[in-house]
Chains A and B, each alone.
Chain A
């Protein structure tokens, strides 16, 4: 047992003589992991290499692919729609993610107030967030309908003539942001779990020191929640930069490309214009963009995320 485990710790394939023993000891692990290993090679690593190669070609799936070098990159720099798509996608992420975090966290704080009916509220807020996809996008299209949609009807009660929302270049993107806040319940559940994990002795100590509700929120609750908030920020950003279904169903990128999200533009390039090379190049640009933003958020985290048990250097 001890000899065997020591051998494993070294993690090196032994020489010829014990090769058979090595295989016998290890084949089961490889066998059990083989679904993922094969899948990784087939659906991830292979396609990634292919995608990188495709980015330097022009290919419509019919005629043979043609190597064009950096022509796709050149074209992207000249293509005003790429800039537009990046702007739309970034703006959406920059507004919808902090807004969702704010509402999600506020709800969680209210739910954490040891009130009666917690289970009911939790269910009620969580329910809309499990609904997603085309059905929900269609539901919201109906709500945003300019003449007979619910939102403009409500506004008309208070004497406001609502805009035509999805049909208005200025309001289409804010409409999609509003819709995204509807799904805030999922993150509320996460925040609630985080809030309940904060050690109570911290609050007791604060109370002895005379800290009131607001002080406790600013100086204990929020700092203790920063790891969870940070994680939600990263995950939220990555998800927001990959929006597709809403844009496709509700606005199809319009009006006047006001909701032309990156993935929608990628989809069009690849599957409507059949420009596989250009679309691959777009995919890599978006990937790089997501990576840069994620790194920036991670960089910033050392100044605002507090990890318990981590020594602060003075």
Chain B
């Protein structure tokens, strides 16, 4: 081993045959091939779903299958939204999601403001308590919460789904607080000298600067609420109150032949998330990195 000759230009013996650039190019081609294989695997399920959603019933069970629907039946989508009260479910989902976003953003930023920009007795202890509740699995409180909402007469209304959103939440509060901590404190002091109240500092100074983190919170809440299943399942009983997630099950009970409609409705349900993803991809990624790495 000690007698390995040290050449001045090449680091590895094989580079005698191939230049470094050539080796890298071959390496990169392999990487691209592997990645493309992965991309295809990832997208086959979606492509197949789109294909199913545009086929006439008779073509769904063909063998070998047709990947490109012919004729393309756009009517499937119209049928899908009319065979269940899709618009009703959509409206319910929009209302619940919208109110949840408003409640979460308002409460989380206020609490995060208290935990980052104000000095008060008990702050550190309460912050530790909040962090500790992050480890609590939500299902432990599920049953007593149900009993509480039942006593309040809130079953089969949106209230159990929406009202708790107005009381903050440890995860997102922590996220917002970490962001607020990075803003220079001189801003607060200057504003206070100019006569700003604490709420003024929150509203005029911090919130305008907090736009990036607010967008991340909006996206996380939107995605979570839009897809939420267990809570609506427990609290909503009258089909007129169903969300999209609940309503999609309506197809399941029907004959096995409605797969094309079910896939059309599923795709329509995913569409808002997809649109948001493509318009705000950067913030999606920030959200996931914030929550994943920064702990």
Contact = CB atoms under 8 A, between A and B. Distances in A.
Answer yes or no: are A and B bound together in one complex.
yes
Interface of A: 5, 8, 11-13, 22, 25-26, 28-33, 35-40, 42-44, 46-48, 50-51, 54, 61, 107, 110-111, 113, 115-117, 121-128, 130-136, 138-140, 142-143, 145, 147-148, 150, 153, 156, 182, 185-187, 189-190, 193-194, 207, 210, 212, 228, 231-232, 235, 238, 242, 244-245, 248-249, 263, 266-267, 270-271, 276, 279-280, 283-284, 286-287, 290-291, 294
Interface string B91-120: 000000000000000010011011100111
Nearest to A232: B292
Contacts of A48: 136, 140-141, 144
A87 to B, nearest CB: 19
Contacts of A110: 31, 34-35
B145 to A, nearest CB: 5
Given A39-B164, A142-B49, A190-B288, A111 B35 contact: yes
7 contacts: A107-B35, A124-B39, A124-B43, A133-B228, A135-B269, A150-B44, A235-B292
B277 A130 contact: yes
A117 B234 CA distance: 45
B232 to A, nearest CB: 10
A284 B45 contact: no
Contacts of B245: 133-135
Nearest to A30: B120
A48 B259 CA distance: 42
Given A29-B119, A153-B63, A194 B293 contact: yes
Contacts of B252: 138, 249
A117 to B, nearest CB: 8
B222 to A, nearest CB: 11
Interface in B104-151: 107, 110-111, 113-115, 118-124, 126, 129-130, 133, 135-148, 150
Contact of B266 (A135, A244, A267): A135
Contacts of B288: 186, 189-190
B32 A142 contact: no
A294 B137 CA distance: 12
Contacts of B32: 115, 117
B39 A13 contact: no
B285 interface: yes
Contacts of A134: 227, 229, 244-246, 248-249, 266, 269
Interface of B: 11-12, 27-28, 31-32, 34-35, 38-39, 42-46, 48-49, 52, 60-61, 63-65, 107, 110-111, 113-115, 118-124, 126, 129-130, 133, 135-148, 150, 164, 166-170, 173, 198, 202, 223, 226-230, 233-234, 244-246, 248-249, 251-252, 259, 262-263, 266-267, 269-270, 273-274, 277, 281, 284-285, 288-289, 292-293, 295
Given A30-B122, A126-B284, A182-B45, A36 B130 contact: yes
A126 B27 CA distance: 24
Contact of A248 (B28, B227, B229, B267): B229
A54 B130 contact: no
Contacts, number: 273
Contacts of A194: 293
A313 B230 CA distance: 48
Contacts of B244: 134-135
Given A61-B147, A148-B63, A283-B140, 14 more contacts: A8-B121, A11-B124, A29-B114, A32-B198, A35-B107, A36-B168, A42-B148, A51-B140, A115-B35, A130-B223, A135-B244, A139-B263, A238-B137, A263-B139
Contacts of A40: 129-130, 133, 167
Contacts of A283: 139-140, 142-143
B229 A133 contact: yes
Given A189-B285, A193-B293, A139 B45 contact: yes
A44 B133 contact: yes
Contact of A138 (B121, B266, B292, B295): B266
Contact of B227 (A122, A133, A187, A290): A133
B39 A43 contact: no
B111 A36 contact: yes
Contacts of B111: 32-33, 35-36
A124 B123 CA distance: 43
B140 A13 contact: no
Contacts of A276: 143, 147
B121 A22 contact: yes
Q: Name the residue in A46, A140, A186 with the highest tally of chain B Cβ atoms < 10 Å from its Cβ.
A: A186
B141 A51 contact: yes
B270 A131 contact: yes
B292 A43 contact: no
Contacts of B63: 148, 153, 156
Contacts of B31: 110, 113, 115
Contacts of A132: 223, 227
A8 B121 CA distance: 7
Given A110-B34, A123-B281, A36 B107 contact: yes
